[in-house]
């Protein structure tokens, strides 16, 4: 189901959610509270009958996005338009009515069903809330719904704890279907399930889509799930989209470097396969203080070299790592390789050359860096480190090694039909970057 | 060797084959038994608990005895004609021309003896159950209901609402409970409904705090969010999804505190601040005869005037505690089954 001629059924603009972090009253008064930027200006459209997959690693804002869409979490800024009507401005009563059109399937089928209610009451609850059916009609509708999702109507009198994970997820789906919605937001609908059951649930979702003409937004961290079910995919990184496009396009070059790394991590059953996994350096940065410029630049294997610098990409990445590590470091332990079996070593006793070897070892730098100027800067920085002047070392590295990625926040650049990537590599201002050519 | 993905394809997952394979379990429709509800299961669990059942029987027996002790007349119509108590609990027997003196030892005619005013202690103990038991049940019912709603609202809405409501609660906790009740009775005067009011005023705070804590925990569950996503109003979310999952400790607490209230009523009675001195309430009876504990007329101690009302209090409170423990165990055991989730150990 590709994009139809109709306008989008759901249109999200600049959706933003900041959480207040820490901060009791005292912290707020002293201005010490910080904001966790869980979601930072996300735009998306969902067209009738399509499935939009959203992938990303944990903590990148997937669930926040899903819940903000329905205002289960109040977004900080931005608009969500359902058939042209702004949900974020809707009154409570109007919002309740709109819940008939937009439904939600939860990740954990064990936590999302009230253990005190029978399945019939759980599935029938939306009917009661919206006065859709009563008495006989309600019972009929409940058994219809249970049959639709592949359960027996006899199950209506049972309690959730008597069901397996897959069955419970079916109950959750039946509950969402009860109000006859147009859009269903599925938050990791299968991640809590057994692999063998995942396929059943995904197929059920696909069947229901064609039967009822539903539109899905499917959140997942599993790329194979998304590949299976989604028409279009959005790759989320630290609360921003890194890449958006039709599924086939996202799963093929050109890639956003982050999407490329994610794709390389999909397990491949072929023993003859010798593709390389791309390992990202470092951890996901804290959303409390996301990196400047492109949010992925702290880990990006293809981080752009400044004009006039020309060295192997891996060496450049290593130098960037050294620079970033040094920003937070105030001891030599942080930037040197650990010798196995040696404890409480006093690194300040090392000679200049030994220290250099250890630093090169830690960051995988060769004997000499490919670029002469860079080698000189590295030498100067090491001199400062040897003298214990961390601040000077920091300045030396910061001045010399600054990637354009740190300065410029890339917008989503068009790279194909409806395929957009937020990476400076695809900006025409950087046509001669080495990775572009490869 | 290749770097292309997808050269190996897994097949055989077609639905037809899966449906026709061997069943994984021997479950069949015909073996299907009806599901037990939560309360059915709890009741079955409770019935297995012998001491709790003993407590329940004693409480039922005492309630029936109190109910049938004297006839009950409502608006001139006798609705309950049976009279188990041989004498009117308030009647001073020698004034009625009977051959009875004060402090007569237990005998066949007066199984529990007579008190200082020559009233039949057996009749008084039977009849006195009406005061103690009914105050206990009414107070607990009212306090638990108030506490439930108050705590549920505070816990569910949280934030500033919670802050204000809980500070109000601290105000009540700032006073020692019985002392506050004593002050209220002293201000309002003695009487049945004054006692109920006094114990209600101090009693609900504990329930409110208990249920608030539970609700803070329960409202984080995803099914609460699920109900909101369905468009449920707050009232429905609170009373259909949050409260039923948070109420078990409240029920246990309520059953245990019926005994506490009865003791409290008796204590006020003993301090002379309960019901009017002549009434047959157990604590008041103890108060009226407390000087005899030390020494009665003629050096002998008429033990029966204190032992029987005191024993009645003891028996009732102990039975209530047995029941409370039984309910606790029954609900707890069931929680265990419910909380255990697949995939979690």
HSE-up of residue B291 (Cα within 13 Å, Cβ side): 6
A positions 319-378 inside 8 Å of B (CB) = none
Is any Cβ of chain B less than 8 angstroms from the Cβ of A265?
Answer: no
Predicted TM-score (pTM) of the model is 0.78
Q: What are phi and psi of A179, to 5 degrees?
A: -90, 5
Mutation for B interface: A115, A206, A274, most B CBs within 10 A:
A115
Interchain proximity B342–A164, CB inside 8 Å: yes
- The whole-number average pLDDT for the span B80-100 is 75
> What mean pLDDT is predicted for residues B169-191?
88
Residue A298 burial by CB count (10 A; 0-12/13-18/19+): exposed, middle or buried?
A: buried
Residues B105-134 pLDDT 10s: 777 777 887 777 778 888 888 888 888 888
Q: Work out the pLDDT band at A177, boundaries 50, 70, 90.
A: very high
3-class secondary structure, A379? helix
Pick among B231, B245, B341 to test the A interface (most A CBs inside 10 A): B231
Counting residues of chain B whose pLDDT is more than 70, the rounded percentage is 83
What is the C-alpha to C-alpha distance for residues B311 and B291, in angstroms, rounded to an integer? Answer: 18
* CB count in 10 Å sphere of residue A144: 14
Shortest Cα–Cα distance, A116 to chain B (Å): 7
Confidence of residue B20 (pLDDT cuts 50, 70, 90): low
Which of A70, A92, A116 is the best substitution to test chain B (most B C-beta atoms within 10 A)?
Answer: A116
* Distance of residue A58 Cα from the nearest chain B Cα, in angstroms: 18
Return all residues near A240 (Cβ < 8 A) that are at least 6 apart: A40, A41, A42, A295, A422
Return the pLDDT at A355.
83
Subunit contact A104:B229, Cβ cutoff 8 A: yes
- Calpha distance B93→A71 (Å, rounded): 76
CA distance B345 to B342: 8
Query: What's the pLDDT tens digit per position in A310-351?
Result: 788 888 888 888 888 888 777 777 777 777 666 666 777 778
pLDDT at position A434 is 47
* Residue matched to tokens 């409904």: B193
User: Which residues from B are below 8 Å from A95, CB to CB?
Assistant: 231
- Residues B32, A154: C-beta atoms closer than 8 Å: yes
pLDDT of B336 over the 50 cut? no
- Are A111 and B230 in contact (CB < 8 Å)? no
Output the pLDDT for position B335: 52
Q: Verify whether the Cβ–Cβ distance A179 to B230 is below 8 Å.
A: yes
Q: What is the pLDDT of residues A283-321, one digit of tens each?
A: 778 878 788 888 888 888 888 888 777 788 888 888 888
The mean pLDDT value for A191-214 works out to 88
Distance separating alpha carbons of residues A165 and A55, to the nearest angstrom: 23
Scan for tokens 């029954």, then name that residue: B330
Residues 6+ apart with CB under 8 A from A27: A33
Q: Which pLDDT score is estimated for A342?
A: 65
Contacts 24+ apart (CB under 8 A), A408-417: A408/A293, A408/A294, A409/A292, A409/A293, A409/A294, A409/A295, A410/A293, A410/A294, A412/A241, A412/A244, A415/A245, A415/A254, A416/A245, A416/A249, A416/A254, A417/A246, A417/A249
Determine whether the interchain pair A72/B1 forms a contact, defined as Cβ–Cβ distance below 8 Å.
Answer: no
Q: Once rounded to an integer, what is the mean pLDDT over residues A344-365?
A: 80
Average pLDDT, chain B: 81
pLDDT computed for residue A27 by the predictor: 67
The residue ranges of DSSP E strands in chain B, in sequence order, are: 72-74, 77-80
Predicted confidence band at A208 (pLDDT cuts at 50, 70, 90)? very high
From the centroid of its chain, how far is CA B215?
Answer: 20
* CATH classification code of B102-336: 1.10.3720.10
Whether the CA torsion A113, A117, A119, A124 is positive or negative: it is negative
Nearest to B261 by CA among B174, B150, B145, B137: B137
- Hey, are the CB atoms on A113 and B226 less than 8 Å from each other? yes
Mean pLDDT over A127-135 rounds to 88
Residue A241: beta bridge partners?
Answer: A236
Plot region of A109 (φ>0 → left; ψ -120 to 50 → alpha; else → beta) = alpha
Q: Rounded mean pLDDT of A155-181?
A: 89
Contacts of residue B7 in chain A, CB cutoff 8 Å?
Answer: 270, 272-273
Residue-level pLDDT at B277? 77
Residue-by-residue DSSP string for B294-311: H--GGG---THHHHHHHH
CA distance B85 to A55: 79
- pLDDT bucket at B342, cuts 50 / 70 / 90: very low
Q: What is the pLDDT at residue A292?
A: 84
- Does residue A352 surpass a pLDDT of 60? yes
Domain boundaries, chain B: 102-336
Residue B272 in this model has a pLDDT that exceeds 90: no
- Residue A243 near residue A295, CB atoms below 8 Å: no
Residue B201 and residue B320: Cα distance in Å, rounded?
Answer: 22
**Which chain B residues touch A159 with a CB distance below 8 Å?**
35
Examine the pLDDT at B208 and tell me if it is beyond 90: yes
Phi–psi pair at A210, nearest 5 degrees: -75, -30
Question: B-side interface with A, Cβ within 8 Å?
Answer: 1-5, 7-8, 10, 13, 15, 29, 32, 34-35, 38, 221-223, 225-233, 236, 240-241, 244-245, 337-338, 340-343
CB-CB contact of B228 with A72 (8 Å): yes
Q: B2 vs A273: CB contact, 8 Å cut-off?
A: yes
Region A32-55: what's the mean pLDDT? 86
Residues paired with residue A413 on neighbouring β-strands, in sequence order = A421
A146 and A172 in contact (C-beta within 8 Å)?
no
Tell me the C-alpha distance between B250 and B148, whole Å: 8
Do the Cβ atoms of A99 and B35 come within 8 Å?
A: no
Q: State the pLDDT confidence band at A218, using cuts at 50, 70 and 90.
A: very high
Residue B21 reports pLDDT greater than 60: no
* Chain B interface disruption, residue of A82, A114, A119, A167, most B CBs within 10 A: A114
* Of residues B300 and A194, more confidently modeled: A194
Domains and CATH numbers, chain A: 10-263 (3.40.50.300), 313-402 (no CATH)
Within 10 angstroms of residue A404's Cβ, the number of other Cβ atoms is 20
Q: How far apart are CA A3 and CA B58, in angstroms?
A: 74
Contacts of B160 in chain A (CB under 8 A): none
Tokens of A19: 């959480």
Taking CB atoms and an 8 Å cutoff, what residues of chain A touch B245? 114-116
Long-range Cβ contacts of B63-72 (<8 Å, 24+ apart): B63/B129, B63/B133, B65/B126, B65/B129, B66/B126, B66/B127, B66/B128, B66/B129, B66/B130, B66/B133, B67/B130, B69/B123, B69/B126, B69/B127, B69/B129, B69/B130, B70/B127
Which residues fall within 8 angstroms of residue B82, CB to CB, at 6 or more apart?
Answer: B68, B71
Is B232 close to A270, i.e. CB distance below 8 A? Answer: no
Structure tokens at A430: 């950087």
């Amino acid at each position: 189901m590709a994009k139809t001629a109709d306008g989008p059924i759901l249109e999200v603009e600049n959706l933003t959610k900041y959480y207040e972090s820490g901060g009791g009253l005292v912290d707020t008064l002293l201005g010490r509270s910080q904001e966790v930027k869980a979601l930072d200006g996300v735009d998306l459209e969902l067209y009738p009958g399509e499935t939009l997959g959203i992938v990303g690693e944990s903590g990148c804002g997937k669930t926040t996005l899903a819940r903000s869409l329905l205002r289960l979490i109040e977004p900080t800024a931005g608009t969500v338009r359902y058939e042209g009507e702004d949900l974020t401005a809707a009154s409570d009563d109007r919002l309740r009515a709109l819940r008939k059109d937009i439904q939600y399937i939860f990740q954990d089928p064990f936590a999302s069903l009230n253990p005190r209610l029978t399945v019939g009451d759980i599935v029938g609850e939306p009917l009661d809330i919206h006065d859709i059916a009563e008495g006989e009609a309600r019972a009929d509708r409940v058994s219809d719904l249970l049959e639709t999702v592949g359960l027996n109507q006899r199950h209506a009198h049972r309690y959730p704890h008597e069901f397996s994970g897959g069955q419970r997820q079916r109950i959750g789906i039946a509950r969402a279907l009860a109000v006859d919605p147009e859009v269903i937001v599925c938050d990791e609908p299968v991640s809590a399930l057994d692999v063998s059951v995942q396929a059943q649930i995904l197929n059920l979702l696909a069947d229901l889509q064609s039967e009822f003409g539903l539109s899905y937004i499917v959140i997942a961290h599993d790329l194979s799930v998304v590949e299976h079910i989604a028409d279009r995919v959005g790759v989320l990184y630290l609360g921003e989209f890194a890449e958006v496009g039709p599924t086939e396009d996202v799963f093929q070059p050109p890639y956003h470097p982050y999407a490329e790394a994610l794709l390389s991590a999909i397990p491949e059953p072929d023993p003859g396969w010798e593709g390389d996994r791309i390992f990202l350096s470092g951890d996901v940065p804290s959303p409390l203080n996301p990196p400047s410029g492109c949010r992925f630049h702290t880990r990006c294997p293809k981080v752009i070299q400044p004009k006039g610098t020309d060295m192997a990409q891996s060496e450049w990445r290593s130098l960037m790592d050294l620079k970033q590590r040094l920003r937070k470091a105030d001891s030599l332990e942080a930037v040197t390789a650990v010798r196995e079996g040696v404890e409480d070593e006093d690194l300040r006793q090392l000679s200049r050359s030994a220290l250099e070897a250890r630093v090169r070892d830690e960051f995988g730098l060769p004997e000499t860096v490919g670029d002469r100027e860079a080698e000189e800067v590295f030498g100067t920085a090491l001199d400062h480190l040897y003298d214990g002047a961390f601040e000077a070392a920091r300045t030396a590295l910061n001045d010399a090694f600054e990637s354009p990625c740190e300065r410029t926040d890339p917008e989503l650049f068009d790279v194909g039909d409806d395929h957009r990537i937020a990476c400076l590599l695809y900006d025409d201002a950087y046509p001669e970057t080495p990775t572009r050519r490869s | 060797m290749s770097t292309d993905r997808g050269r190996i394809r897994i097949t055989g997952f077609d639905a037809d084959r899966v449906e026709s394979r061997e069943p994984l379990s021997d479950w069949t429709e015909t073996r299907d038994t009806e599901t037990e509800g939560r309360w059915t299961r709890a009741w079955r669990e409770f019935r297995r608990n012998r001491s709790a059942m003993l407590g329940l029987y004693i409480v039922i027996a005492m309630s029936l005895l109190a109910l049938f002790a004297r006839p009950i007349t409502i608006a001139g119509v006798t609705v309950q004609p049976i009279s188990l108590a041989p004498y009117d609990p308030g009647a001073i027997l020698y004034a009625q021309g009977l051959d009875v003196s004060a402090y007569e030892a237990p005998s066949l005619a007066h199984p529990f003896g007579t008190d200082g005013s020559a009233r039949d202690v057996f009749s008084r103990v039977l009849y006195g159950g009406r005061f103690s038991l009914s105050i206990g049940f009414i107070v607990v019912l009212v306090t638990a209901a108030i506490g439930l709603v108050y705590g549920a609202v505070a816990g569910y809405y949280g934030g500033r609402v919670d802050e204000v409501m809980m500070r109000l609660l601290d105000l009540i906790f700032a006073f020692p409970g019985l002392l506050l009740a004593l002050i209220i009775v002293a201000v309002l005067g003695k009487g049945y409904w004054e006692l109920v009011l006094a114990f209600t005023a101090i009693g609900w705070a504990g329930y409110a705090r208990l249920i608030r804590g539970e609700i803070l925990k329960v409202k984080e569950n995803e099914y609460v969010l699920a109900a909101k996503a369905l468009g449920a109003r707050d009232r429905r979310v609170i009373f259909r999804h949050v409260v039923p999952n948070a109420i078990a400790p409240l029920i246990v607490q309520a059953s245990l505190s019926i005994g506490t209230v009865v003791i409290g009523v008796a204590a006020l009675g003993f301090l002379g601040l309960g019901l009017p001195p002549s009434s047959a309430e157990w604590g008041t009876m103890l108060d009226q005869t407390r000087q005899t504990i030390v020494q009665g007329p003629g050096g002998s101690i008429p033990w029966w005037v204190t032992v029987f009302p005191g024993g009645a209090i003891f028996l009732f409170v102990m039975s209530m505690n047995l029941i409370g423990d039984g309910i606790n165990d029954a609900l707890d055991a069931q929680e265990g089954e419910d909380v255990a989730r697949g995939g979690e150990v």
